[in-house]
Structure 1
Amino acid sequence: MKLVSGKTVAVIGAGLAGLSAAITLQDAGCDVEVFESSDRVGGRVATDVIDGYQLDRGFQLINARYPELVRLGIVSELDFIVASRTIDISLGTSQVSLGDPRRHPFSALNPATGSILTKVRFLSYLTSHAKAGMSVEEELIKYGNLYARVLKPFLSGVFLTSPANVDAVSGKEIIRSFISGKPGLPAHGVGELAKALAKRVNTIHLNSRIDAIDQVDADSVIVATDVTTAAQLLDIPNVPKLASSTTWYHEIPEGVTSSKNLLIDGQTRGPVINSIAISNMVPSYAPSGRTLLSSTTIDFSSESEVRRHLAIMWGVSSSDWALIAKYEIPKSLPIFGVGAQGAQSSQFAEGVFIAGDYRTAPSQNGALLSGRLAAQELLLN
């Protein structure tokens, strides 16, 4: 990119999109200031510490093979712990496992998660082009038990909505990224990713709320806030539909599980879409000798309903599990419905550009990509 030294740019929002935009602009020689309304960077990509527990604001993994993370070379700066490539499925009173066939070939032989032929056919789905005008569910429902017991509950946790609500084309790209990816977490929480990116940005103003574009003095502005705030700043009448979620953190007794795998319910017997003893995967998430369970719901649910469902999924009583924290996240992810397409241009008006995952893809990679694209388009103007 041609250097444009001397150009001043204000970036509103220090989430992944804003940080990516700022880094791209700085590398091109721009004078960049980032304004963030809260007291921290990262947006939803943040980690709290409560009573010795590390609690991410919503269960989320980092895919170390996301193209934008590879381009930035940021994962090498994190104490990254790779997640298991196997998921456990609760069926009846037992659990079965399904793993990456390259590493766990025998797990694919269990007919409870679909026949071998069905699983082979699913591989052909991954290499084919998605059909426009269809949902993810419409493309996958033909895979029978593999879809009903494994793919649907798993993907509901990925999209934070039913696959019936997600466009087949954009959805398939995300599914492929999971199949070929390298998911995991930094030892000190997902928020370490945002902190590492922020270290590359020269000027970030925290606790700096911007209510109007004319509050900032710059040649150009990139609005990299959540979509609702962007709509308020730019007077945009319609915004994309957003998925909401709630993450529940419980301390569970030692011995309940030694598994590091994500657990889903293959029979949808309650509101929980996934659950994981996250401190088994990353020991620093819980004090020594304790186990932290992270569970996600996408529909309104009481704690008693969540406890009942967790007891079914894990096969043990949950009555004595201590609730450490509950995170309600009303703007978890944008929903790319059937026929939805990413935005073609980041420019909103003369000198004003927009970035955010709702413009590209509902993922960390989508947020980072949108920030870079907005910055590059700004540089060409």
Structure 2
Amino acid sequence: MTDSCEVLVVGAGLAGLQCARELQAAGRDVQVWEAADDIGGRIRTEQVDGFLVDRGFQVLNPAYPAVRRWVDVGALDLQRFGAGLGVRRDEGLAVLAHPLREPRLIAGTVGSGIATPHDAAALLRWAAPAVVRSWGRDDDGRRPGRRPGRDVTLRHALDDAGLAGELRRVVEQFFAGVLLEDDGSTSNDFALLLLRTFALGVPGLPRLGMQALPRQLAASLAAPVRTGTRVESVAREAGSMLVRASAGELRAEQVVVATDPASAETLAFGNHGGGATGSGVSAMKGVLTHWFAASEPPSRLNLLCVDARKRPGGPLVNTAVVSNAAPAYAPAGRHLVQASALLGPGRPVPGDDEVRRHAAEIFGADASGWELVARHEVPDALPAQPPPLRPPGPAEISPGVFVCGDHRSTASIQGALESGHRAAQAVLRPDFG
């Protein structure tokens, strides 16, 4: 017997869950099917020997407009990092901090000498447009406040601003960890949007781990997400959508595909004229994250730390004593260190000892007693976001078939939630863009 519903959402990541909860709130009969054994998509949290470890180092920035609109941040009990960076230099570990949010660190920031007057001026030239950047869009899809001109790569924009020296390396290393690329190939417009968000909010980690975010979204659904159910095909048949999956078939009036880009290409575009929609599979960027347990914290800083030396001592883009900012991530009397490196074609995958050594070098600490808690290789961690930064792709691909995900918007939690919202609106309002 074939099941039925009004709308089937394929994929229980942030985009799919946000779409489903909006459709349910509008009175639609909605089911959510997920191929994996749990919800969250790329956001997963494991418990290992009393530690919480996320699948790849991720943080939640409460300044994202979509988070402010659709997420109960207070209920997540966000444990915040400090507003700044620890910077490994040849002379030692220095601090660059937000002067208004971290006044106790002003003396160290000023005294570090990282930001020379020339480079500080160049940084301000580059960052100034972030003041008028906005994540919102008006009704015709344009970005309000966007200055005329062409978008370029982040590297090109930093060159144009004249940013150089140690401060340039700090900026590049910070964004390498955020964007998961170290060649500056990301859209500068997107980088400025992220910069604005970091200026307006301080990221943190939910007390129960990052997966608490998708769990909160799913908690409002009337029917539980059906996990372990891989959708194999979506086709229009006899006036409705016939969905075939590993666990059976379902008839739906509409189907929303909220999966990774490759699966979306097959399910949403493959049999529905994808060539006419300009779909294209988004390139994905990878990250390798190690989690180490320590009996003593290698640093008292609650900041993300980067290696800004001319010749970095290893493969890491960042490291942090996560338990300094998020004590709930470690059992009492223990401390948790994360260390992340980039993955990708042509990059050798660093070993555990190499990662441990580089993280300890950044902190200026002894890592001989660190124990490996978990190691995550995430080859498809984040969609590439090259210039130009385009408006979101259309949510409706063909009659009855919709698609959403951060690969259809911006490569961020903001983009995933906003894309899910747009897909729900397109289902509810056929004239929605």
TM-score class, shorter-chain normalisation, is over 0.9
Range that drifts further, 17-26 or 97-106: 97-106
State the partner residue of 2:303: 261
1:133 Cα shift? 4.1
1:35 Cα shift? 0.5
Over aligned residue pairs, what C-alpha RMSD do you find?
2.0
Structure whose alpha-carbon radius of gyration is higher: 2
Q: Are the counterparts in 2 of residues 46 and 194 from structure 1 also a CA contact under 8 Å?
A: no
State the partner residue of 1:160: 180
Looking at structure 2, the residues matched to 24 and 208 of structure 1 have their Cα atoms a distance apart, in angstroms, of 22
Range that drifts further, 170-179 or 46-55: 170-179
Write the letter of the residue equivalent to 2:119.
T
1:278-289 counterparts in 2 under 5 A? 278-289=322-333
Aligned residues: 376
Q: Are the counterparts in 1 of residues 94 and 109 from structure 2 also a CA contact under 8 Å?
A: no
State the partner residue of 1:290: 334
1:227-284: CA deviation from partner (whole Å, max 9, x where unpaired): 1211232326841111100110011231422221111101233100100110111112
Q: In 2 relative to 1, CA 151–39 (structure 1 residues): closer, same or farther, beyond 3 Å?
A: same
Range that drifts further, 58-67 or 142-151: 142-151
1:131 Cα shift? 5.1
Query: 67, 88, 91: which is aligned to 2:89?
Result: 91
1:282-325: CA deviation from partner (whole Å, max 9, x where unpaired): 11211111111011000421223212322321222323321111
Write the letter of the residue equivalent to 1:281.
A
1:152-209: CA deviation from partner (whole Å, max 9, x where unpaired): 0000000011251101122221222112123111111111111111101122212221
State the partner residue of 2:256: 222
Write the letter of the residue equivalent to 1:372.
H
Classify the secondary structure of the residue corresponding to 2:95: strand
Q: Does 1:196 align with 2:216?
A: yes
TM-score computed with the length of structure 1 as normaliser: 0.93
Looking at structure 2, the residues matched to 255 and 309 of structure 1 have their Cα atoms a distance apart, in angstroms, of 16
1:61 Cα shift? 0.7
Write the letter of the residue equivalent to 2:418.
L
Q: Are the counterparts in 2 of residues 136 and 172 from structure 1 also a CA contact under 8 Å?
A: no
Please, which runs of 5 or more residues in structure 1 have no aligned partner? 1-5
1:19-46: CA deviation from partner (whole Å, max 9, x where unpaired): 1101111122211111011221111212
Query: 205, 208, 211: which is aligned to 1:185?
Result: 205
1:338 Cα shift? 2.5
Q: Does 1:209 align with 2:230?
A: yes
State the partner residue of 2:138: none
State the partner residue of 2:399: 350
Please, which runs of 5 or more residues in structure 2 have no aligned partner? 130-146, 235-241, 244-249, 344-348
1:367-378 counterparts in 2 under 5 A? 367-378=416-427
Looking at structure 2, the residues matched to 321 and 344 of structure 1 have their Cα atoms a distance apart, in angstroms, of 45
1:117 Cα shift? 4.8
Runs of at least 4 residues of structure 1 off by over 3 A? 103-108
Q: Does 1:318 align with 2:363?
A: no
Overall identity of the aligned pairs, in %: 31
TM-score computed with the length of structure 2 as normaliser: 0.82
Range that drifts further, 62-71 or 11-20: 62-71
Classify the secondary structure of the residue corresponding to 1:243: strand
Classify the secondary structure of the residue corresponding to 2:7: strand
1:335-372: CA deviation from partner (whole Å, max 9, x where unpaired): 11122524341111111011010111111111010000
State the partner residue of 2:20: 22
State the partner residue of 1:136: 154
Query: 168, 171, 187: which is aligned to 1:151?
Result: 171
Q: Are the counterparts in 2 of residues 248 and 326 from structure 1 also a CA contact under 8 Å?
A: yes
State the partner residue of 1:246: 288
State the partner residue of 2:136: none
